[in-house]
Amino acid sequence: MSTTKTPEMEGEVYFPSPQVIEQAYVKDWEALAKRARNDLAGFWAEQAEELEWVQKWDKVLDDSDKPFYKWFVGGKVNITHNCIDRHLKTFRKNKLALFWESEDGKLERTFSYFAVNREVNRMANIIKAMGIQKGDRVTIYMGRIPEIIFAMLACAKIGAIHSVVFGGFSVDALQGRIEDSLSKLVITCDGSYQNGKIVELKRTVDTALKGCASVENVIVVKRTGHEVPMEAGRDHWYHDMCALPIANDKCATEVMDTEDPLYILYTSGSTGKPKAIVHTHGGYMVGTYTTLKYVFDLKDDDRWWCAADPGWVTGHSYIVYGPLLNGATSFMFEGGPSYPYPNRWWQCIERFGITVFYTAPTAIRGLMRFGEAWPNKHDLSSLRLLGSVGEPINPEAWKWYYRVIGKERCPIMDTWWQTETGMFMITPTPTVPLKPGSGTRPFFGQEAEILNEEGRPVPDGEEGYLVLKNPWPAMLRTIYGDPQRYVQQYWSKYPGKYMTGDSAKRDKDGYFWIIGRVDDVIKVSGHRLGTAEVESALVSHPAVAEAAAIGLPHDIKGQAIHVFCLLRSGFTASPELAEELRQHVATHMGPIARPEEVKFVDKLPKTRSGKIMRRVLKARAQGLPEGDISTLEE
Ligand code: WTA
């Protein structure tokens, strides 16, 4: 790559090297963009043709009942067939599908496509033996171990709908998600490791299940081997079940309608409880397959590493489904970037010859802090492409990533997307000229716009609401059990356009620059949390009468949670109480939700109708103008 200022383009631009161009699937970005612009359905049909269908679709896109779009209507398929079975007929049968290293580096596990098939079939048979049928929901709550992938695929294989809950969440979050989905089965492990310590997953499940009547069985995968209580009749060790005759290596794949749900994934939006985003077997498959292929340019000799957690959408789309659909080899690491030392990730890249690496800006900023000496101890020359996701990447972090990790050789794919979009939406492909901090332009077939409050496009360079104009195959279909909320939340502010919840700017080259959320979502270290969840954890403490949570800028985390609490009478504000409340949130919601700071107040700014004006709190905390406060109560 080379950097230049060109008269044609605004700002600092990084151009791809001839090697990058030569390798890339997409050599002529403009041509493919034009192709998709002129014939959206034709473009996506062409991508879908690369996969195998039990029965071809009658119609690519059905938009007769907007915004309930349908894709590949009339088709029959199962995503797992394309993730696994399709490859078993080729040389990929013996290809490495997945390799894994434990946090302490003492264990390594590898699985060919053939082996993944066996593991998934075995688990699918066990899940079926627990009475799970097509359409049933299964909650998965595990650490980063291969079995989480097998569990997801096993559900998909038999047509059950998985609902993965991030292993860093705690009891309230888990309980709410199990209750809402009415899962009959939970798959978990005894514990997971984090920075050398055990995270008590099974015990958290036990506590969460006290309030959940729907769950009949719990499958427990042994990872740590420490003592955990097992409830007779309900809890089953996975390894015990594997020894039973039902745990056969062969399992038929359920034939699904393309629009049948594949999974639900809970995510925070504006106000209220997290909502379950629904993704399907057909369109989601085509979307994740195509985006991963074109954006990260995966080839058979690549070694892909998406360092996210499978519990978030990034893991669903780009650890589990996308890589397997592409027949790729991927790496999964159990631990985090800096335990025991801040070279842990760089060591993995060297040791395993990673060629394409995808992570979040918060991790880059965190590792940057430890200095260049750590990555410089390692040979990172296997890398050829880098990626970023989850929050805006500040140009300083982008340049460090580019220079110190990618050695000015590897383009950085800054991919903007959401749980709801299922796949990359604004992203470069490897040959696109890059500007640090911009995800460049919408992916093929998509158009984005920046609108003002009234729904009119703002001039280039001005901030506004980011909306998407066209449907796309991996789009969410609805909110599980709440189609009205789906319409209201995403499609009603600007009818016919998808409201992203982000604010952004576009520059004169048509490049998009994401600024951040405009709703009550807080992005802490790239993790998506809702103010409402944090607030409800706070008011569950006896001392707190009312609470408001906001996200404020943080150097490493991007945003940090700050809370304002109004105490019940009889309680006095003190540093000890503040600490207790921080701990209370961590215990109930999960350590990622632990507030940075707790402030005690006598009053919260509210509208006359009683809604907390977080916007005003945020402005005050940052010493910024409070904006329109005409609705503020006296
Ligand atoms: C933010 C994560 C800037 C954005 C895949 C979005 C980003 C929210 C980027 C979705 C990026 C994600 N640049 N911001 N490359 N990627 N975001 O659902 O605010 O956890 O709306 O999905 O993350 O978060 P979610």
Q: Is 416 in the pocket of ligand 1 (CB under 6 A)?
A: yes
Q: Is 423 in the pocket of ligand 1 (CB under 6 A)?
A: no
Strands (E), 568-618: 597-600
Helix (H, G, I), strand (E, B) or coil at 516: strand
Lowest mean pLDDT among 507-521, 543-557, 616-630: 616-630
Q: What is the pLDDT of residue 629?
A: 82
Whether the predicted pLDDT of 59 surpasses 90: yes
Q: Is 525 in the pocket of ligand 1 (CB under 6 A)?
A: no
Token couple for 431: 């040959």
Instruction: Quote the crossing angle between the two packed helices 575-589 and 531-539, to the nearest 10°.
Output: 120
Whether the predicted pLDDT of 6 surpasses 80: no
In order, the DSSP letters of 597-609 are EEEE-S---BBTT
Q: Is 424 in the pocket of ligand 1 (CB under 6 A)?
A: no
Ligand 1 center to residue 197 CA distance, Å? Answer: 29
Q: How far is 337 from 470, CA to CA, in rounded Å?
A: 37
Q: Is 528 in the pocket of ligand 1 (CB under 6 A)?
A: yes
Ligand 1 center to residue 633 CA distance, Å? Answer: 33
DSSP bridge pairs for 330: 98, 304
Task: For residue 72, report the phi and psi dihedrals to the nearest 5 degrees.
Answer: 55, 45
**Measured CA angle at 278 (ends 277, 284), to 5 deg:** 115
Q: Is 551 in the pocket of ligand 1 (CB under 6 A)?
A: no
- Please tell me the chain's helix, strand, coil percentages from 3-state DSSP, rounded to the nearest 5: 30, 25, 45
Amino acid making up residue 307 = A
Q: Is 310 exposed, middle or buried (0-12, 13-18, 19+ CB in 10 A)?
A: buried
**Band of residue 610 on the pLDDT scale cut at 50, 70, 90:** confident
Q: What is the pLDDT of residue 273?
A: 85
Ligand 1 center to residue 629 CA distance, Å? Answer: 29
Q: Is 302 in the pocket of ligand 1 (CB under 6 A)?
A: no
DSSP 374: H
Q: What is the pLDDT of residue 630?
A: 81
Ligand 1 center to residue 462 CA distance, Å? Answer: 20
Nearest-atom number in ligand 1 for the CA of 516 is 19
The residue whose CA is least distant from atom 24 of ligand 1 is 418
Average pLDDT of 31-52?
98
Q: Is 87 in the pocket of ligand 1 (CB under 6 A)?
A: no
Q: Is 501 in the pocket of ligand 1 (CB under 6 A)?
A: yes
pLDDT tens digit sequence for 140-161: 999 999 999 999 999 999 999 9
Amino acid making up residue 476 = L
Q: Is the dihedral of CA 553, 555, 559, 565 positive or negative?
A: negative
Q: Is 439 in the pocket of ligand 1 (CB under 6 A)?
A: yes
Bin 422: left if φ > 0, else alpha if -120 < ψ < 50, else beta.
left
Q: Are 446 and 314 in contact (CB under 8 A)?
A: no
Nearest-atom number in ligand 1 for the CA of 527 is 20
Tokens 């690549």 belong to 302
Mutate to test the pocket of ligand 1, among 169, 288, 418, 476 (most ligand atoms within 8 A of CB): 418
The residue whose CA is least distant from atom 12 of ligand 1 is 390
Nearest-atom number in ligand 1 for the CA of 420 is 18
Task: For residue 347, report the phi and psi dihedrals to the nearest 5 degrees.
Answer: -60, -45
The residue whose CA is least distant from atom 25 of ligand 1 is 418
Token couple for 402: 């580019």
**Band of residue 5 on the pLDDT scale cut at 50, 70, 90:** low
Q: How far is 523 from 312, CA to CA, in rounded Å?
A: 13
The residue whose CA is least distant from atom 22 of ligand 1 is 418
Ligand 1 center to residue 15 CA distance, Å? Answer: 25
The residue whose CA is least distant from atom 4 of ligand 1 is 391
pLDDT tens digit sequence for 353-393: 999 999 999 999 999 999 999 999 999 999 999 999 999 99
Q: Determine which helix (DSSP H) or strand (DSSP E) holds 486, and give its type and residue range.
A: helix 483-486
Whether the predicted pLDDT of 627 surpasses 90: no
Q: Is 309 in the pocket of ligand 1 (CB under 6 A)?
A: no
Whether the predicted pLDDT of 626 surpasses 90: no
Q: Are 15 and 1 in contact (CB under 8 A)?
A: yes
Average pLDDT of 531-553?
96
Amino acid making up residue 128 = K
**Helices marked H in 141-275 — which ranges?**
146-158, 171-181, 201-209, 238-242
**Band of residue 504 on the pLDDT scale cut at 50, 70, 90:** very high
DSSP 509: T
Token couple for 575: 């540093």
Please count the other Cβ atoms lying within 10 Å of the Cβ belonging to residue 547.
26
Across all residues in the chain, what is the average pLDDT?
96
Average pLDDT of 319-336?
98
Ligand 1 center to residue 123 CA distance, Å? Answer: 32
Task: For residue 585, report the phi and psi dihedrals to the nearest 5 degrees.
Answer: -65, -40
Average pLDDT of 444-463?
98
Token couple for 15: 């151009």
Q: Is 389 in the pocket of ligand 1 (CB under 6 A)?
A: yes
Q: Are 298 and 292 in contact (CB under 8 A)?
A: yes
Q: Is 433 in the pocket of ligand 1 (CB under 6 A)?
A: no
pLDDT tens digit sequence for 76-98: 999 999 999 999 999 999 999 99
**Band of residue 440 on the pLDDT scale cut at 50, 70, 90:** very high
Token couple for 20: 């990058």
- C-alpha separations of 580 from 171, 517, 591, 594, 597 in Å: 17, 29, 13, 11, 11
Whether the predicted pLDDT of 3 surpasses 70: no
Mutate to test the pocket of ligand 1, among 412, 417, 527 (most ligand atoms within 8 A of CB): 417
pLDDT tens digit sequence for 241-289: 999 999 999 999 999 999 999 999 999 977 678 999 999 999 999 999 9
**Band of residue 634 on the pLDDT scale cut at 50, 70, 90:** low
Ligand 1 center to residue 390 CA distance, Å? Answer: 4
Q: Is 141 in the pocket of ligand 1 (CB under 6 A)?
A: no
Nearest-atom number in ligand 1 for the CA of 414 is 15
Ligand 1 center to residue 427 CA distance, Å? Answer: 12
**Band of residue 185 on the pLDDT scale cut at 50, 70, 90:** very high
Q: What is the pLDDT of residue 633?
A: 78
Q: What is the pLDDT of residue 2?
A: 67
Q: What is the pLDDT of residue 1?
A: 65
Residues 6+ apart with CB under 8 A from 592: 168, 169, 524, 525, 527, 529
Q: Is 419 in the pocket of ligand 1 (CB under 6 A)?
A: yes
Q: Is 414 in the pocket of ligand 1 (CB under 6 A)?
A: yes
